Amino acid sequence: MNEKTKKQAYEAAKAQYAALGVNVDQAIETLNSVPISIHCWQADDVSGFENPSGELTGGIQTTGNYPGKARNIGELRADLEKVLTLVPGKHRISLHATYGDFGDTFVDRDQIEPKHFQSWIDWAKKHDVKLDFNSTFFSHPKSSSGYTLSDFDPEIRAFWKEHLRRCRLIAAEIGRQQGDPCIHNIWIPDGEKDKTVSRYEHRRLLKESLDEVLAEKISTDYLKDCIECKLFGIGSESFVTGSHEFYMGYTVKNNMMLTLDSGHFHPTEVISDKLSSVLLFVPEVNLHVSRPERWDSDHVVILDNELLAIAQEIVRSGHLQRVHFGLDFFDASINRIGAYVIGIRSTQKAILQALLEPTETLRDFEKEDKNFQRLAYLEELKAMPWSDLYNYYCEQQGVPVGDAYIKDIQEYEEKVTSKRV
């Protein structure tokens, strides 16, 4: 499709939406203002640079062995740079604490400092992206008991509290230098494989640990903390200390951000249904958009019903600016650059479709008890030419349109990632 044909398709689609009372230009402008926080760990299967050959723990695992994974900080950054050329908009990069620029020196989790991430800050400025941050409470000898901040051993808790303190300082320094708050996500793998008689005790210890560290106030101009819940995991099938109820209560009480991960609930639960409740009680929500296949499998995000429902609930609420979109998946069975691009574009497509909905018309139908008309509109919207609008948006942003990115990724694989042996 040439540029003239794309423009014609855009104008035709724009007219169709205008007939429904939808301002297409405003929708695209809003979409362009929504950054996606791109997770660095898809590029290297969550290996990191602290101990790249170490074993993944905390119920985290990658499946597959597709060639070409990033083996060092230079390769990972090169892959991220390539990804950024294939998606429209301005985005963020989310780092885990194990991805510091440690050189040839082992730096333990309770010793990391902002200097270990200065080269990331400089790299991000060069490429006009912002950074987010994650504490890393897994894949470490001191998490081998299955517990970190809620461990019965005070020395173990002290180690992880110091890690959390240092992560907050690193994130704050990132936020200060980039002139935009760094979102710092806290997820711990704490839990039990089998029945425990100490649920209350572990949760009391977690509360005390968080209270102690988070009492050290840091300006929200630089840092925004958030905590992430989970229902169960590998090795924590029977009990997870940081449950949804625990963190929901904690964030409401302390007026802080809550992280909702698409895969961290029972298969019959969906976070699209939780958003309208959560947004009434917490100041902001951080999303980890993933695709659970029967459990927290972290499959590559695709444009499925739940992803669209998440975007719709956020837009319908009128609080798009209070929700932060982050990705959290890792698939080692396919081309990793392709996984990134599919996930980012799918998320953007869901947001765009939500922004193109004539919500007020649908609400009027509801108020007038015109449920047939509401359902008919919702069904007809599925066949509207939103993809022509997204294609034109990509064209205007100077990135590949439609499936053209596939060729670019294949060429990058041939010239770059296939050489990594």
pLDDT per position as a tens digit, 49-62? 987 666 656 555 56
Q: Which of 173, 328, 331, 388 is catalytic?
A: 328
Structure confidence at residue 46 (pLDDT): 82
Q: In this predicted model, what pLDDT tens digit does every residue of 164-180 receive, in sequence order?
A: 999 999 999 999 999 99
Q: Is residue 2 part of a domain?
A: no
Quick one: average pLDDT of 353-374? 97
Positive or negative: CA dihedral 302, 304, 307, 312: positive
Active site residue 104: no
Quick one: pLDDT band at residue 311, thresholds 50, 70, 90?
very high
Active site residue 187: yes
Q: Is residue 293 part of a domain?
A: yes
Q: Which of 6, 230, 274, 349 is catalytic?
A: 230
Mean pLDDT of the chain: 93
Q: Which of 225, 296, 313, 395 is catalytic?
A: 296
CATH of the domain at 254: 3.20.20.150
Q: Is residue 30 part of a domain?
A: no
Highest-confidence range of 235-244, 245-254, 326-335, by mean pLDDT? Answer: 245-254
Active site residue 364: no
Answer whether residue 47 shows pLDDT above 80. yes
Positive or negative: CA dihedral 121, 127, 132, 137: negative
Q: Is residue 224 part of a domain?
A: yes
Active site residue 386: no
Q: Is residue 111 part of a domain?
A: yes
Q: Which of 261, 313, 357, 388 is catalytic?
A: 261
**Are 242 and 227 a contacting pair, CB within 8 Å?**
yes
Active site residue 293: no
Q: Which of 140, 187, 202, 274 is catalytic?
A: 187
Q: Is residue 382 part of a domain?
A: no
Quick one: pLDDT band at residue 298, thresholds 50, 70, 90?
confident
Q: Which of 228, 357, 388, 395 is catalytic?
A: 228
Active site residue 116: no
Q: Is residue 131 part of a domain?
A: yes
Active site residue 319: no
Where in the sequence is the domain holding 344, given as residue range(s)? 35-358
Number of domains in the chain: 1
Residue 18, token pair as written in the block: 């205008």
Q: Which of 264, 274, 299, 349 is catalytic?
A: 264
**Are 284 and 278 a contacting pair, CB within 8 Å?**
no
Structure confidence at residue 327 (pLDDT): 95
Q: Is residue 170 part of a domain?
A: yes
Dist CA 200 CA 193 (whole Å): 16
